[in-house]
Amino acid sequence: MTVLRNHKLLTLAGAAFAFRLLFVLIFPGPNYFEGISGSYIEVAQNILQGRGIVTYVDIAPLSTPEPAWTYETFIDRPLGYVFLILIPSLVTSSPIGVQILHALLAALSTVILFLIGKELVAERTAWRAALLYALWPLSARFEIALLPDAVMPFFLLTTLWLLLKGIKSEQGLKWYGTAGIVCGIGMTMRPDILILPLFLAAGLFFLNNAPNRIKGIVALLAGVLFVMGAHTARNYGATGGKILPLGLGNGISMWEGISQFGDTLGTVYGDERMARLEGYRSWAYPNGIERDRQRFREAVDIILAHPVWYAGMMVKRFPVLLTPDWIMTRKFAPSLKEFLDAPPGNTVGSYVAAYPGPTLIRVILVLLQYASLLLALYALWMNRRNRLLWLPALVIFYYIVIHLPTNTEARYFYPVIPLVLLLASLGWQSMKHQSAE
């Protein structure tokens, strides 16, 4: 039995890895949010060349005729992803090495999803979910993108699996603590999970039959704080005594998000446009901490002054977050918005006529996404007494509510697709059971 199970796990991992390598062949190197990818790769190369954790930027005001290129201490983003991509960078300078590392992490994520599903539901349902995830085109494409978001499924799934080990163990404090450390490391990849531990702690609190759940919550939060403390201490020293837990970005996200659907209330959309408005070429250097905090204060003031309008803005963001964007076909066709904003006379019909293949792929992806979401909701309703299912549901819910108030892109939701597929597989099984009765 053990040999058979190990064979199945190797099959899952191999399928996921091979499928993602196929996408590496189609999309080699940075080709999705290239600016973000380039910034991380540059910092990693600076470290390898002995310059330290620095980035090369022009800090001269736009009002001056001469640039002022200089190496500045890297603080605008967390450090986790920089250190992660150092591993393949020691072997090869090609960004494809990073993509292969991403594919390996995705293969491990597929196995972990199976293990989670086996604990939460049933082995057959877990196998279906893991196989779906291994061959899910949107996940395969996203997880070879050179972005910290792309490795987040590994950290989210590992955190959940460790929590389940703690829940099922009489002496599970070590599992809870390790889950907190893994979640903390995930924060150093992508800081949008900063408040996720509180959601997980709330879910654990209501698992009345979980042994040592209160101590487990403390151990979980202690693990997170251990990693966060180390990162904050580094930033404190690197910035001359300023508190910067992970990196910059909250201010710019809130401020730009006000204009997500069109410039309004004195804000603009886009990092480069905002930097030009402030009079610099970079949104984070110089004086990034002060500028980011000022943007955040301005954004909060605007939102408080227009609460009803901003509530409507969050409703408009909802489909943006949940609808797959152009990641699968951007190499071969512009986005629909770019096409319609181009020369006058462009229509949806002319887009379909000009790009029939990409249009079909995008329609299929949207249908798959929404079908899986509906099945996941059905699963939660039909199995609402299973409190363990609250944990993956809380992670999905968190990813939705944390992004709606700030600034929304479809890629922000992609890391929780494996959990959606797990619940969708359970929903499919529940539907089959209902129809058989």
Question: Cα(77)–Cα(59) distance, rounded to whole angstroms?
Answer: 17
pLDDT score, position 213: 86
Contacts of residues 25-28 at CB distance under 8 Å and 24 or more positions apart, as own/partner, are: 26/331, 27/141, 27/144, 27/145, 27/331, 28/95, 28/96, 28/99
CB 143 within 8 A of CB 181: no
CB 212 within 8 A of CB 192: no
* pTM exceeds cut of 0.85: yes
Residues 6+ apart with CB under 8 A from 209: none
The number of helix segments (H) and strand segments (E) in the chain equals: 19, 2
**CA separation, residue 203 to residues 160, 168, 212 (Å):** 11, 15, 14
pLDDT score, position 346: 84
Domain ranges across the chain:
151-238
Nearest to 420 by CA among 329, 321, 325: 321
Per-10-residue mean pLDDT of the chain, 437 residues long, equals: 73 96 96 92 96 95 91 95 96 95 98 96 93 97 97 98 91 92 97 95 86 90 97 94 89 90 89 87 91 93 95 94 91 85 82 92 95 96 90 96 91 97 95 74
Question: Cα(34)–Cα(52) distance, rounded to whole angstroms?
Answer: 23
Question: Cα(33)–Cα(365) distance, rounded to whole angstroms?
Answer: 20
pLDDT score, position 437: 62
CA angle centred on 380, ends 379 and 382, rounded to 5°:
65
CB 264 within 8 A of CB 258: yes
